[in-house]
Structure 1
Amino acid sequence: MRRLLPITLWLLVPVVLAQGAEVSPFVAGMAALEADDYAEALAQLQEALADNPQHADAHYALALAYGAESPLRDERQVVRHLDRALRLDPENAQYLEARLEALRRTMPEEKAFSTTDTRRPALARRILEIDSTNALAHEELALSAFLEFDWRRQLAFRSGGWNPLATRGRSGAANRARARADAHLAAALQADPKRVSAHRLRVRLAVYARDEGQLDVAARAFFTAQPEDPAAWLYLGLTAYRRHDLSVAERHFTQALAAMPASERASFEQIALLLSEEEERAFSADSATVAARFWQVRDPRLLSSQNERRLEHYARLALADLLFADVRRGTRGWATTRGEVVVRYGLPDVDRRWVSSSVGAYQQWVYGGEEGFSLVFQDLFLNGDVEFPSSAGGEDEATRARSLFHRTPERFVYAPPGLTPFPHLVATFKGADGQTEVVIPMGVPVDGIESPENQHLLDLRTGAFLLDTDAEVVAEARRQVKRLGSGDAVRLGSTLLWTGGHGLSVDPGSYTLVVEFEQPRAGAFGVAREPLVVPDYHQPGLRLSSAVLAFLIEEENTAAGPGRVRRGPFVLHPSPQNQFATDAPIYLYVEAYGLTLREGRTQYEVEAILKPEDHAGALARVARRLFGRPPPSGVSVRYPLSGTTADEGQYAILDVVAETPGPYLLTLRIHDLHAGRTVETTRRLELTAPHTAPSPPLP
């Protein structure tokens, strides 16, 4: 408040008081205003006006007193006295600035760009005619240009899309409005480098423009100007998260939370909004445990030290507050209707807006995906109060939204740039001490690794994790590969795959398997999650392990190097996918448990059958028989074996050179000849032409 009074008036007060002279009501009123004694200030200043109704500074001081945060606040009196002061001194920039601030306090920001009410931008332009460096006026015109940019950008989307580089058409008009907003913000911050509202608007403009580079610049400028402001740290975290620098984002978000007052920090730590019914019941009994488990269960990546879902939550809160905060009413963005939706589901995939001649403005947010949905908002009186449309007639948008919140309290689709699909398979074997061994062969695309400048540098990190039903990690394996070694890669068409994998030992049961890789040098990473039932091979009876598909199986004297799996006397180079070329044999490995021993020896047969999947319908099969055409034949091998232990592993080799590319069904059988029992396992695989499938390991 003090900065808005003429400096000469503030200098006059202590001089008069120090001299002990008789104090006029105006000077006494200013002294009370300086002491935040608003009741006394109002009384003295009204007396001053009674003595001189043409006292412009008294009207101005009364407006400041009525506008101060106190029980006596009265915006109508603020406007009344400012208007009278301006009639007496129409070119006074301070009076005009105070009048503009009063409009900003009492009008929604949408009125900064309006075809029906131009008072705010008109006042700002009038101020700049008198004071070309006025920060408030430049910020107001920046807000007007920002709102125009947003409106024109929506028009461009309706006619084919917004092009940020266009100079003509609707996109060009939107871009010119954005350029005006940038120019006014630059002028405002040059005049007042620490102006928080201007910095926030600059960050907001960059978000709306989807300009990640400018967002980073704006966030850094805000931090330079206001390093103690939690919002400055928050926007640094937001921009780091949006460029997928997770470690930096986590650090900045942590610093932002530490700098926040407790009431604001609680909004970032509260998860009640996101809980399912079951989680709500558990939360009421043990909030700390449920909160910790909430983030743990939803963490999409275990190989990284950051919890991406938690970081996404912080980013959503920052965006909700940045985009939808109502400064006029002191409402944080996440507490608004649209802000709550952003916290639950993120920003929409599609944002449509339209205005009705009779029932206000509408906005529709569309979220895509398999379980996509849309939400409609309404600004009934065009005053910034955006809510779900409701009616007394029953089903309406408000009811639909509440139903959605109940069914789907939150949604998070993890699909950042660099997310790369990769092949992997799972096999299980009998382990020691009642456990089961889980083997996970995997392949990682490493294109470009053979270039001379890389010299086979890889910098690859991989991991495999088994999670129990409470999302606790019960077994994990990690690996770091610095260089591509001899025989570590196979080629899939034009793609080079590093092949390796992990082995885990766990008790039998139901788990979630998570397989990951990250290649920081290439900016690539991959995540795969799937349910996994781990069988118990220690139960009595004849049992069969998973069948492993391999590029090569070698005998006992071969060392089990990286990417290889040793099972008894055999070393396997397993394939990470069910796809093979027809120009190389397929190696199959399987283990039988509980074979019958007679006189210290087992007698059994191994049979492998590879047949094309027959998708012919009943009529086609009848016609095939009538015309003497045989069904697809495939290839098979069968041979007898004998051993000295009840548990034995064996492999078979299938020659598929003569087979036609396509989908096949592989069946592996073990016949226990002593007991007359048979067990089998089946799996699907694909045969392809040689140029589209993995070849044997590179030398």
Structure 2
Amino acid sequence: MKLLHFKISSFLSSITYSFVVLVITQGIIQAQPDLKDDDASNFSADIMRAKSESEIPTAEAKSLFNLAQENISLNTVHSRKLAREYLQKAILLEPENIEFRLCYASLLEKYFPVSAYSEYENILQIDSTCIEAIYKLALRSESEFNEWKFSQKKFDDGIYFDLSDEALSDFRKAEYYYKKIISYQPLHYDALMHLSFLYEDSNVPEKSIPLLETLLKAFPDDKDVHLYLGLLYYKDNQIQKAHKEFQEALILMQPEERKDFTYNTVIELLSPVLSEKIKNFSQPELENLISSFWKLNEPLFLTEYNERLLEHYSRVAYANLRYSVPAENKQGWKTDRGEMHIRYGDPHKIVRLRPGVDWSVVKLKTEIWHYEEFTLGFVDKFSTNKYAFSSPPKFNERYQSQFGDDTFFFVESLRKISPQKYEPVFEGPPLDIPVDVTQFLSLSANNKTDVYFSYKLEHSDSQECVQYQSGIFFFDLFMNPIYQKKNDFKFSAGDFNDGREKNSLVKSSLMTVKPDSGNISFEILRTDDGAAFSNQGRFKVRKFNRDVLEMSDIVLAETVESADPDQLPIIRENLGIKPNPELSFSSTVPLFIYYETYNLELGDDGMNNIEQTILLKRSEDETGGDDLIAPIIKMFQTDEKQIALISNFQTRERNPQIYFQLDMNGYQSGKYELEIKIKDLFSGNEVFRKKEFFWNQ
């Protein structure tokens, strides 16, 4: 098949020997006595000669076949040898008996694969429609494709020779054989299943999915069809369909397998963080911990499913599909490669270095996984596809990994520092939406805070009407819900006109809650195509004291109006505010400043007395040699770092609303920090708030 592989196989089959090498470990050959492989490779010539001989009664051939089957069932070295002899004699008597030949080829598979698959090809010469022979050849080609698709040969001078192109011929053979089976039996379960796997491994899910959809119609209660269809849907970003299939698969699973997906694999994820503490948890406590873990990692609460949980299901399904060790009855997620796949997902590159010999050193088959932040190595010590974490060789050790670092040691730390990696995957593309959050003393409820999430939507000229859904989800630190609000809204092309930019619209969502600390998620979902935005993190709702001087957050706005305020995103009593969530202003985008002060003392005349100080300076990461070379209004006091505007004014309100426009024409472009200080001249108390923004000259 491959030049190197062919030479090795031909060399072994040409030697007359009475031992079959199974594995080489620590320089000791472990072997089992069996028949000579040249008997198998030369057997076709014997069969052809038998055609010219006189016929022997069929009953004798059938008796030999029965004796062979009895010896195969005993499964000893001697019984296999006898079975092979009986089958050879039976086939000599009936050269075109497909049943005899299939049994003979199957017996050869484990120890003489080259001869076995040659025999399957011989069977197709007799009967080109023999499904079992075609299927065996398809499996062989698929296995070879998966073995060679990432392969490279490393030479002593450090040069790598890419062998992955060699896998292309195996892919084409496997595809041909599976398609041939399906042409004879359109609902052949294994052929459809494996052909879908073959396409998935070639990164063409659009070919994989229809095959499993066909199987699903024929086998609606098959757990594996639902499971792997869910996996393929997920990889193709059809998240809602993936959710449905995973749910069906979980229902159809046996309890132990379901527990692996929903419990055991999650405990594996959490165990490095919890360490020895996990032993002290009861079963209900662990289940609650798992539930909180999924809530904490859910990227989009607007959907009916948890995208992070679906990612986990897909990782477990793939690990079990690709990394299981059937000979040991070991599921893929329990292997070293499977564990890393469950924790960190698909590496962006895999390289498989072929084994070789360098003088007295045996270079073991090594697989290298490249992630953005780190690289992992796995070694297949005995060429049995049982990979383990790579470790440096011990002194004078002959059998060595081709990966230089100590993955076993590195992973011990990696699990604790970064137990998982996940980038959210949504049904549609990610939305890039600027958001600005501001907090005020609530206008409608005592002891509560008004929190505004202001955001800006962009609209494509090709979209006539767009359906959106927004959501605010606030939880305590243990992910118990405190506040939840969803809002559906629809816009047509005409609605996306804010007077300045043709295809944009600014909106705000309001959350009124008691002061608290917890986890927040502000989300936007474009329901037409599943495009999504999610802004999550720790959040503290401010507490506004009603007895001492307080100040709201600062809103940087494009306009503040008293006329028809209901048409603007933020309404504060009789004022309407249009915030600028991008926090970017210029000569064509005016900069208005809005804030509120609370609990000012009033004099005998019913008036307050306020000193307002506005400090404006370039942000630290923006300052240069001439920070503020610009025309400065005379009323500003300046130094090398900042500009200050101090003013005094009086109003009749204890909680006045204050707004004004800041003219920055002539200022250098860059990032600025605005600080506003308020001093109550009656009480002497002071408060201040800061806000950063961008100015584009």
Distance 1:597 1:538 in 2: 17
Amino acid at match of 2:244: R
1:252-651 map, 5 Å: 252-270=245-263, 271-276=266-271, 277-278=273-274, 280=278, 283-284=281-282, 286-327=285-326, 329-357=328-356, 358-368=362-372, 372-390=373-391, 396-415=406-425, 418-431=429-442, 432-448=445-461, 451=462, 454-455=463-464, 457-484=465-492, 489-490=497-498, 496-538=503-545, 540-555=547-562, 557-561=563-567, 564-599=569-604, 600-613=606-619, 639-651=647-659
Q: Deviations over 1:319-360 (max 9, x none)?
A: 122223344554433333322322222221110110232142
**Which residue identity is paired with 2:262?**
E
Q: Which residue of 2 aligns with 1:142?
A: 138
1-side partners of 2:641 and 2:625: how far apart?
19
Following superposition, the deviation at residue 645 of structure 1 comes to 3.6
- Cα distance in 2 for residues equivalent to 1:232 and 1:433: 56
Question: Quick one: percent identity of the two aligned structures?
Answer: 22
Q: Kindly tell me: are residues 546 and 338 of structure 1, through their superposed partners in 2, closer, same or farther at Cα, counting changes over 3 Å?
A: same
Query: TM-score normalized by structure 2?
Result: 0.78
- Secondary structure in 1 aligned to 2:346? coil
CA pair 616-237 structure 1, distance change in 2 beyond 3 A: closer
Asked if residue 229 in structure 1 is aligned to residue 226 in structure 2, the reply is no
Change (3 A) 1:215 1:280: farther
Aligned position for 1:100: 105
Q: Distance in 2 between matches of 1:327 and 1:195?
A: 23
Matching residue of 1:241: 234
Matches of 1:313 and 1:503, distance apart in 2: 33
- 1:665 aligned to 646, 658, 673, which one? 673
Amino acid in structure 2 at the alignment position of 1:505: T
Q: Distance in 1 between matches of 2:77 and 2:510?
A: 71
Instruction: State the alpha-carbon separation in 1 of the partners of residues 589 and 334 from structure 2.
Output: 63
- Structure 1: distance between partners of 2:499 and 2:70: 78
The code of the aligned residue for 1:272 comes to I
Across the aligned residues of Structure 1 and Structure 2, the Cα RMSD in angstroms comes to 3.5
Measured against aligned partners, the alpha-carbon deviations of 1:34-69 in whole angstroms (never above 9, x if no partner) come to xxxxxxxxxxxxxxxxxx99944344334444556x
**1:118 alignment partner, SS class:** helix
Cα shift readout 1:171-218 (whole Å, capped 9, x = no counterpart)? 876444322211101122344555443333212211210002012123
Alpha-carbon displacement from aligned partner over 1:564-598 (angstroms, at most 9, x marks no partner): 11112211111112111222321111111221122
Secondary structure, counterpart of 1:684 in structure 2:
strand
| Residue 406 of structure 1: how far off its partner (Å) | 4.4
Contact 1:491 1:497 in 2 (8 A): no
Amino acid at match of 1:374: T
Q: AA paired with 2:607?
A: R
CA distance, structure 2, for counterparts of residue 613 and residue 399 of structure 1: 43
Find the aligned partners of 1:400 and 1:132 in 2 and give their Cα distance: 53
SS at match of 2:668: coil
1:684 deviates by 1.3
| Cα distance in structure 2, aligned partners of 1:610 and 1:76 | 92
Report the AA paired with residue 77 of structure 1.
Answer: S
Task: Quickly say closer, same or farther: Cα 1:54–1:476, change in 2 above 3 A.
Answer: same
Displacement of 1:468 in angstroms is: 1.7
Partners of 2:458 and 2:617 in 1: CA distance = 30
Aligned length: 600
Other structure's SS at 1:426 match? strand
Offset at residue 131 of structure 1 (A): 1.9
Residue in 2 aligned with 1:77?
A: 79
Given that residues 193 and 225 in structure 1 are in contact (C-alpha distance below 8 angstroms), is that contact kept between their aligned partners in structure 2? no
* Mapped contact 2:149–2:165 kept (Cα < 8 A): no
- Report the Cα offset of residue 549 of structure 1: 0.9
Amino acid at match of 1:236: L
The aligned counterpart of 2:3 is none
After TM superposition, the structure 1 stretch with the greater mean CA deviation from structure 2, 665-674 or 187-196, is 187-196
Partners of 1:142 and 1:609 lie apart in 2 by 75
SS of residue paired to 2:423: coil
Structure 1's 570 and 182: CA in aligned 2 closer, same or farther, altered over 3 A? same
The CA deviation at 1:445 is 2.6
Q: Which amino acid aligns with 2:350?
A: D
- 1:615 positional shift: 6.1
Preserved CA contact (<8 Å) 2:352 2:367: yes
Asked if the contact 2:72/2:83 (under 8 Å) is kept, the reply is: no
Partners of 2:152 and 2:354 within 8 A in 1: no
AA aligned opposite 1:650: I
Kindly provide the CA deviation profile for residues 526-549 of structure 1, in whole angstroms up to 9, marking residues without a partner as x: 112232222211264222111011
Mark the CA change 1:349 to 1:485 in structure 2 (over 3 Å): closer, same or farther. Answer: closer
